[in-house]
Amino acid sequence: MTQNSRLQYGTVSKRGKKNKVWIGRWREEVPGPQGSIRIVRRSVVLGAVEEISSKRNAERELWERLKLINVGKPGASGPMTLRRFAEEMWKPSVFPSLKLSTRLFYDHNLQTHILPVFGEIPLRALTRDGVQKWLHGKFSAGMSWNSVRHLRTTFGTVLNAAEMDELIRQNVVKKTRLPRRIHSEEPPLVSLDELKSLLKELPEPSRSIAALIVLTGLRIGEMLALRWCDVDLTAGTLRVRQTVYEGQFDTPKTKRSRRVVPLSPIAVQILGLQRQGSGTALIFSSAAGTALCRRNLLNRQFRPVAVRLGLKGFNWHWLRHLTASLLDAAGTPLGTVQTLLGHTSSEVTREHYIHAVSSESRNAVGRIEELLIGPKWTQMQKVAQKGSLLIH
């Protein structure tokens, strides 16, 4: 029996006058004489309209019955491969609810890494060992630990949906382990002198954008989506309402990302110099009034200057790291830093954005020092010689 070229979803309709029922119809391939295949139209009574209250629920009932055909059990038209499930079921149902950046992220991982290896394998033939060897192979080939983690997350998300649809008994990706992580040294935090040199050399509009990101902690997408109606120069505040990615505007990354950010006098001055529009006009835009492309700004203006100054690996995102570290160095409470950056969790702020040694850490080390050398040093040496305390 040959494999269907597409999934069978079927159609539903009502039948009857007094006692109305839902009827499900679909087409099925069945063996014909001499190995030929013929198409047979089939139908089934799904239930009374009184019991199944909506057409959507009737369609769900029909889909449950068609799983045997689509999955590839005995009597089915062919096995459900990972590629078929991802392209025909998972993406159509999941992608419409995701942000553009997330859709592109998932699709890149699928098309570039996952489907070329596992795409033609039936869902039920996927194994933990096969996925585990693939993950370790990616890491051994030089892919970063975080990138391998993202691949595992994408793969696991797809199979979670297959498991929920009862197309597989268990998600084998959940049973895999990530390779042992080797922590790489973080790039050194840019000094204020280096930042001043960077801002001095950058052409507009990157100079103003970079300065405002440091002064406000906004993400690059949030900065490029700012409109004049979001800014109150008199009150010295701006409101983050949108973000933009690949020319498409969307809501900010998280609920906490929708926030009001205070503006310093310098930030107000920079924004004032940009004043060329009003209302819903973008603050930073192309000659046609459309949103600027973050990649073009980075590749054509930002990165060449950063490389010339010796700031390798520096990008828009590191400006937010610099903001967080400067706020921390100024003694700003962690909760305030979290609010200004729009983070959902303070742990994200602490672990990934603050790179400076906090004042609390310095004070704690100072207190240890006071405990150690509070008495005269000669007295501590005598105690050590008696064996009560050994100091090297």
Give 331-341 pLDDT, tens digit per residue.
666 666 667 76
Give, for 307, the enclosing helix (H) or strand (E): helix 303-308
187 SS3 class: coil
65 closest CA partner among 31, 97, 42, 35: 42
- Provide the residue-wise pLDDT of the chain in tens; the chain has 392 residues: 344 445 567 889 988 887 888 888 888 776 667 667 777 788 888 888 888 888 888 888 887 777 656 655 443 445 688 999 999 889 988 888 888 888 999 999 999 999 999 999 988 889 999 999 999 999 999 998 989 999 999 999 999 999 888 788 889 999 999 998 876 555 556 677 888 888 899 999 999 998 888 888 888 999 999 999 999 999 988 898 999 888 888 888 778 788 888 888 888 888 888 877 778 999 999 988 899 999 999 999 988 998 898 887 677 878 887 777 777 666 666 666 667 766 555 454 444 444 444 454 445 444 544 544 455 444 444 444 444 443 34
Supply the pLDDT for residue 4.
Answer: 44
Contact at 8 Å (CB) between 253 and 306?
Answer: no
Contact at 8 Å (CB) between 36 and 74?
Answer: no
Helix axes 206-216, 265-273, angle to 10 degrees: 150
Supply the pLDDT for residue 188.
Answer: 57
Supply the pLDDT for residue 30.
Answer: 67
CATH dotted code for 83-175 = 1.10.150.130
First to last CA, the chain: 80
pLDDT, tens only, 284-321: 999 888 999 999 999 999 889 988 988 876 778 788 87
274 SS3 class: coil
Q: ∠ CA 274-276-282 to the nearest 5 degrees?
A: 80
What are the sequence ranges of the domains in the chain? 11-76, 83-175, 192-353, 366-392
Q: Record the pTM.
A: 0.58
Q: Which tokens is 278 given? A: 């009003």
Q: How many residues does the chain have?
A: 392
Domain 192-353, classified CATH 1.10.150.120, yes or no: no
State the sign of the Cα–Cα–Cα–Cα dihedral 34, 35, 37, 38.
positive
Measure Cα distances from 281 to 159, 221, 234, 271 in Å: 43, 16, 18, 13
Report the phi/psi class of residue 243: left, alpha or beta, with left for phi > 0 and alpha for psi in -120 to 50: beta
